[in-house]
Amino acid sequence: MKHQEIMLNTLIKTNNLNGFSEDEIGDDHIYTGLETPMKVDAFEISDEEKKEKIAVLFSQIMDVMGLDLNDDSLRGTPNRVAKMYIDEIFSGLNPANKPKVALFDNKYQYNQMLVEKNITFYSNCEHHFVPIIGKAHIAYVSSGKVIGLSKLNRIVQYYAKRPQVQERLTNQIAGELSKILETENIAVIIDAKHLCVSSRGIKDDTSATVTAFYGGIFNEPNKIAELQNYLNQ
């Protein structure tokens, strides 16, 4: 772990990150780094072992809340939650689930921007573990290689399926695409609704959050305008 990351973790643990407390970090949706915070031994136990442990721990949470785990409707809930966490909504934490991406030569010699818009995704806020629901728009200009359109969707889903903050999600998708396509000419725009805003706290059900990454030629005003024109069609 890098020195600055160690210092950052220490500051968080002592509730002294630039004067913010842990509650303030969560309520204000402040994130602490580009990489998803993971333990170094995160994959020393198998997914099946993780599900077993989560089921036990979640049953304890339900018990503390006063729920009757002998009820037919609730009895299987701990196992269902454990499977959902590991196999579905947080499956993007495991690098083994990273989509395999094959590159193809740009035989059509298409040298303009390619835009894939309205990619629906479901993620979860890392501060309260409630859903983030939104759409991602991706654009790139080929450097000589292209990838299948469905792989753009899969990359979005992979990074969305983990506890997230929208700014990090935006940058992680852009970074992955830039690395795969070997180009800086990447744009990622995410428009999402956060249930931690609409269902708790301020309880604002009408607001949405938009984040954007513009790399390479997408920093040029004419390219941004061209991209926005495609997205508004």
Q: Residue 74: give its domain's CATH number.
A: 1.10.286.10
User: 77 is in which domain, residue-wise?
Assistant: 3-95
Q: Show the tokens assigned to 186.
A: 């990447």
- Shared domain for 137 and 206, answered yes or no, is yes
Tell me whether strands 131-140 and 186-194 are parallel, antiparallel or unpaired: antiparallel
Domain of 131: which CATH number?
A: 3.30.1130.10
Predicted confidence pLDDT, tens digits, the chain (233 residues): 333 333 333 333 434 455 656 665 555 556 567 899 999 999 999 999 999 999 999 999 999 999 999 999 999 999 999 999 999 999 999 999 999 998 999 888 889 999 999 999 999 999 999 999 999 999 999 999 999 999 999 999 999 999 999 999 999 999 999 999 999 999 999 999 998 877 777 777 778 999 999 999 999 999 999 999 999 98
Q: Which two tokens stand for residue 137?
A: 């728009």
> Which residues participate in catalysis according to the annotation?
125-128, 166, 194, 196
Q: Where are the beta strands (DSSP E) in 31-113?
A: 103-105
Dihedral sign (CA 165, 194, 97, 170): negative
What CA–CA distance (Å, rounded) separates 126 from 164? 5
Three-state DSSP class for residue 96: helix
| 86 and 126 fall within a common domain | no
pTM for the whole structure: 0.85
Contact 58, 123 (CB under 8 A): no
Distance from C-alpha of 8 to C-alpha of 6, rounded to nearest angstrom:
5
Residues 206 and 190: beta-carbon distance below 8 Å: no
Residues 174, 75 share a domain: no
Residue 195: in which H helix or E strand, if any? helix 195-198
Cβ–Cβ < 8 Å for 137, 188: yes
67 and 176 belong to one structural domain: no
95, 111, 137 — which closes off a domain?
95
